[in-house]
Structure 1
Amino acid sequence: MPLDPLCARKTDSSAATGLLTVAQRHFFDQMLGKGAPYDRRTTIPRGQAEESDMIMLPVTRSGPLDDGDVTATELTALLREHGTTDREVLQVKSITQAKARHVLPVKLLVYTDSDRNDIEIGVVIDGELSKAHELALIGHGGAKALNITIAPPPERPLLDPDLEKARIPLEEVTQHRAEQAALQLGSQPPTPGPPAAQEPQADEIRAIGVFEHPDILDEALSHARRRLLIISPWIKNAIITTTFLSKLEGRLTRGVKVDIAYGYEGNDTKTDAAAVRKLTNLAKRYPDKFTFTRLKATHAKVPPYDDVWVTTSFNWLSFKGDPDRTYRMEEGSLVRNRQNADTQYDRYLALIDDQRR
């Protein structure tokens, strides 16, 4: 969400000191067209947001602010938001805008009906829905203005018949997780103590919903102990972040074998060259542990790690950077079993060798 840092030079009144003139920095919310009490630590430079392929929400106004765009009453309210209750702004003498533009990262919640005819968007700031920003977004055209559309989900890749028969469906998985969450909310917090050693998880074959995919990728990057293999048609900067690279290098320094492959025929338009360069450089630093391969063509989208493999239509390394912003409720399957994982790991390594460009 676009913000403008501004410095307001104002006249304050204080019970102890009388009148004085001070300068104080605040943010001007360009979407709402008024000053905002955002913490500077939660904002980022606009260039960083653009590099991460964030959606820029529309603004009510752009360009330089006039001195009358922020009133003394508004600045007093901002002081109250920041906990300053012993001062009142009497007059705004001038406003100076900082050269560096910042934005506030927010979350968009996309809602639609079963027929995908109506799309609504919620704006979440600091963990809470903002009705003011939602209304402002509606005024600018809502989902249509952001080029957000909903498409039917692609067909789920099927498992072998025996695995398919044992697979726990998504509805049952979702219900079980909801029950677990309810139990945790109602239970007493655990007594602090040393972290318990991570126990190997039991075999499982279950569905995974679209929103669980990023968590599975993060689990692999954070906890893989022996191997990690990712195949994705495209690679985007929004995924290959500093955090991603740091976690990946953390696996490499612990001796984990990593293989990443990408490529979709001759089409590289959906892949960011900078993201490829970052992974290439990391592979050069760990030639014995990390192979990074451009394939001739692949439709495979899998991340086998340790004793786990996932089959899905989800694009693991580009899901945040799809410029057409078409949302699909993609569903996949997770199989946690050493023998099956070994088979799939060998299969996809062979595919990489065969499709190596």
Structure 2
Amino acid sequence: MVDHNVTSAPGIAGVLGLPKSMVDQTVATLFGSDDLKWARPAPEDTVRARGLRLTDKGRITTQKAAAVAPVRVNQPLVYDQMLWKAAPYDHPRGQAEEDGMLTLPVARSGPIDDGDVTAAEITALLRENGTTNREVLQVKTITQAKARRILPVKLLLYADEERTDIEIGVVVDGELSKAHELALIGHGGAKALGITVAPPPERPLLEPNLEKARVPLEEVTQHRAEQAAFQLGSQTPTPGPPSAPQPEADEIRAIGVFEHPDILDEALTHARRRILIISPWIKNAIITTDFLGKLERRLTRGVKVDIAYGYEDNDTKTDPAAVRKLTNLPPATRTSSPSPASRAPTPRCSSTTTSG
């Protein structure tokens, strides 16, 4: 426009039919990039008045821009319905209910409107994902997929017996998301998800000889706190040649929920005599191909495996497909089929023996 004798911001806004504020912002940006200048006309120029002029750099920029023609494309986009905004997630996936996950509330129900996503937002997402050679000029229309995609996140809950409220954190792609936390609090927080604080059940007593050998919970907690303090304060050790694994002494102690995956993997990898698993439910999220492969290797090595499950008479949380995967193990390796256990204890914090 400037090169065609439209040399004022109001004139450009009038010709293009754009708000003057938008034109003023663009002119300021072009001044900053040395594409525009403010100049008087030459003495022999009796046509143009004082106004905007292209710099030498601006003429080159104009030529390059004229060679670029806008095209209409379909741009896949992930929309976070909890925050009600476009999001940079790469690989959202579904089947949340089958994996036993809770579904977080959405900001509002209904389809996404065309005005809910702007061209600037899409351009910013493209830049964030590494696409720098494309700029979105206009959003023509939005088409929403029929099936919603689910992004798994982790909830961090903080509570104790003396407090009735529950602090909650939301971890998205490995990082705490303050925006999701505030959105969840606005929808009722942990209470809206049916998460409550209940007093812990009394610890069941062991056999007298095992109860005598059991390490008290206070001692376990103190030992773990000392270990964490040492690891935080120590330097990263220099890698050395791997040492031969040493057999661990039998230990009877309280374990936390966060230890269960590591202890289960240790048993499936190194147990030599017997594995006993007692769980309220059997879930697809646990009975994976990796789990079944390790379990079958233990069985072929002569390890006896007993699996007891069941929390109530009407067990609705166990995945039948997961049970079938266990019972379908080759007969030559299956030494003990999973069996329902009436009201088996929930393994929140239980006593266990660990051995080689």
Same fold flag (TM > 0.5): yes
SS in 1 for 2:97: helix
CA deviation map 1:104-161 (0-9, x unaligned): 1110111224334112221111222111111111121111221112211111122334
Aligned to 1:347: none
Q: Map of 1:1-357 to 2, 5 A cutoff? A: 18-21=68-71, 22-40=73-91, 43-44=92-93, 46=94, 48-85=95-132, 87-192=134-239, 195-263=242-310, 266-282=313-329, 285-295=330-340, 297-299=341-343, 313-315=345-347, 330-336=348-354
From the superposition, tell whether residues 171 and 143 of structure 1 become closer, same or farther in structure 2 (CA, over 3 Å): same
From the superposition, tell whether residues 113 and 333 of structure 1 become closer, same or farther in structure 2 (CA, over 3 Å): closer
- Give the structure with the larger strand fraction: 1
1:280 deviation in Å? 1.4
How far apart, in 1, do the equivalents of 2:203 and 2:88 lie? 45
Aligned to 1:354: none
How far apart, in 2, do the equivalents of 1:156 and 1:249 lie? 33
CA deviation map 1:273-324 (0-9, x unaligned): 2222222112xx13444321435x5455xxxxxxxxxxxx434xxxxxxxxx
How far apart, in 2, do the equivalents of 1:26 and 1:84 lie? 14
How far apart, in 1, do the equivalents of 2:352 and 2:310 lie? 23
1:270 deviation in Å? 4.0
CA deviation map 1:15-60 (0-9, x unaligned): 78634334332211011001001122xx22x2x2221111111111
Identity of aligned residues (%): 73
**Aligned length, in residue pairs:** 293
From the superposition, tell whether residues 287 and 155 of structure 1 become closer, same or farther in structure 2 (CA, over 3 Å): farther
Whether contact under 8 Å (2:323, 2:338) holds in the other structure is: no
Whether contact under 8 Å (2:153, 2:172) holds in the other structure is: yes
Whether contact under 8 Å (1:256, 1:289) holds in the other structure is: no
How far apart, in 2, do the equivalents of 1:59 and 1:38 lie? 17
How far apart, in 2, do the equivalents of 1:114 and 1:235 lie? 29
Letter of the structure 2 residue corresponding to residue 30 of structure 1: Q
SS in 2 for 1:286: coil
CA deviation map 1:244-275 (0-9, x unaligned): 33432343344433222334675333433222
SS in 2 for 1:28: strand
Letter of the structure 2 residue corresponding to residue 268 of structure 1: D
How far apart, in 1, do the equivalents of 2:331 and 2:311 lie? 25
Whether contact under 8 Å (2:87, 2:125) holds in the other structure is: yes
From the superposition, tell whether residues 145 and 67 of structure 1 become closer, same or farther in structure 2 (CA, over 3 Å): same
From the superposition, tell whether residues 244 and 62 of structure 1 become closer, same or farther in structure 2 (CA, over 3 Å): farther
1:224 deviation in Å? 2.1
How far apart, in 2, do the equivalents of 1:290 and 1:218 lie? 19
CA deviation map 1:314-340 (0-9, x unaligned): 34xxxxxxxxxxxxxx432233468xx
From the superposition, tell whether residues 275 and 116 of structure 1 become closer, same or farther in structure 2 (CA, over 3 Å): farther
**Cα root mean square deviation, aligned:** 3.0
How far apart, in 1, do the equivalents of 2:227 and 2:280 lie? 35
Normalising to structure 1: TM-score of the pair?
Answer: 0.71
1:211 deviation in Å? 2.9
Q: Which moved more, 1:192-201 or 1:269-278?
A: 192-201
How far apart, in 2, do the equivalents of 1:218 and 1:116 lie? 34
Q: Which moved more, 1:26-35 or 1:97-106?
A: 97-106
Normalising to structure 2: TM-score of the pair?
Answer: 0.71
How far apart, in 2, do the equivalents of 1:167 and 1:272 lie? 34
Aligned to 1:324: none
Whether contact under 8 Å (1:235, 1:276) holds in the other structure is: yes
Whether contact under 8 Å (2:112, 2:144) holds in the other structure is: yes
From the superposition, tell whether residues 29 and 112 of structure 1 become closer, same or farther in structure 2 (CA, over 3 Å): same
From the superposition, tell whether residues 171 and 72 of structure 1 become closer, same or farther in structure 2 (CA, over 3 Å): farther
Letter of the structure 1 residue corresponding to residue 265 of structure 2: D
Letter of the structure 2 residue corresponding to residue 154 of structure 1: P
From the superposition, tell whether residues 86 and 174 of structure 1 become closer, same or farther in structure 2 (CA, over 3 Å): farther
Higher relative contact order (CA 8 A, sep 6+): 1
